[in-house]
Structure 1
């Protein structure tokens, strides 16, 4: 009986040893694969990293620098122009009909409608005050709310002033 126990222990030890060797081989192989296969980088993470390490500005020197600076300024001006609302028009009717009419036709949010009676007290404050309220936003004593630039931050100050002038010229 004792002989059977020794044979069992010998075979069991060999099986355990074999499993340990296989486990170690798998660990070494996994470590090798981890070093060989490059990690996949998310495009979003790569863009965020590039944005974070991008230079804050450029240095322009000499004749080539002046040409590069002029090109950079032209590109910046083109990018800024594309961000201006309504193609930069100063036609107050276009801006009013596309943006302001929603509130100033129906009186939404306490907005004065397009009749003289609603505007007389406001006109008495002066056009500079009207411009300031239209550009910066305003909450009136009656609770009426005028969001800055009518809720469209892409409008330039000149566009807002042109629209205020158009409104004042077209009151009934």
Structure 2
């Protein structure tokens, strides 16, 4: 080997060693900064994480468990009732007058039977109350139009629909 080749190798080795030391220094500095910076977590991400790792069920044991189970059942029932229109009341007149029922059945829109002997009274005579309630709950497609399930308000309970149909039938007499 020639002298200038050895000189180049020495300098090149020194440059590589210097770059390796700079890289190591930058890595250590980044690690130091990462340990000093406080990372704030988004509350939405935290909530999704907690929802993912939440237990599937609950275990209730003994007297304390029975009380906790009763409280959980009451909370679940209250949650269900919170989404039911009219607070779960089954007053047919209130439901008819304050929901989508009155829009079609008052004017006979789309073939909806009116609240008289020729309308809902005739349907009652032909089909019976059970059929009318079933059609009101599940929806009905007739020759003159379509009635959506639960009158277009799926939040109503079956008991509320039944009470409303019974009230409508009572008005036709």
Q: Normalised by the shorter chain, which TM-score bucket?
A: 0.7 to 0.9
Alignment of structure 1 residues 140-155 onto 2, 5 Å? 140-142=142-144, 144-155=145-156
Q: Could you tell me how far apart the structure 2 residues matched to 1:32 and 1:156 are? A: 61
Q: What is the RMSD of the two structures over their aligned residues, measured on CA atoms? A: 2.9
> Could you tell me whether the CA contact under 8 Å between 2:88 and 2:160 is conserved in 1?
yes
Relative to the length of structure 2, the TM-score reads: 0.73
Compute the displacement of 1:31 (Å): 4.6
Give the paired residue count: 156
Structure 2 counterpart of 1:47: 47
Alignment of structure 1 residues 90-169 onto 2, 5 Å? 90-99=90-99, 100-123=101-124, 124-142=126-144, 144-169=145-170
Relative to the length of structure 1, the TM-score reads: 0.73
Instruction: Go from structure 1 to structure 2 and tell me whether the alpha carbon gap of 1:44 and 1:120 turns closer, same or farther (over 3 Å shift).
Output: same
Q: Could you tell me how far apart the structure 2 residues matched to 1:38 and 1:139 are? A: 62
Q: Does 1:171 align with 2:155?
A: no
List runs of 5+ in structure 2 lacking aligned partners: 1-18
Q: Could you tell me how far apart the structure 1 residues matched to 2:105 and 2:72 are? A: 41
Compute the displacement of 1:135 (Å): 1.2
> Could you tell me whether the CA contact under 8 Å between 2:121 and 2:169 is conserved in 1?
no
Structure 2 counterpart of 1:4: none
Compute the displacement of 1:165 (Å): 0.6
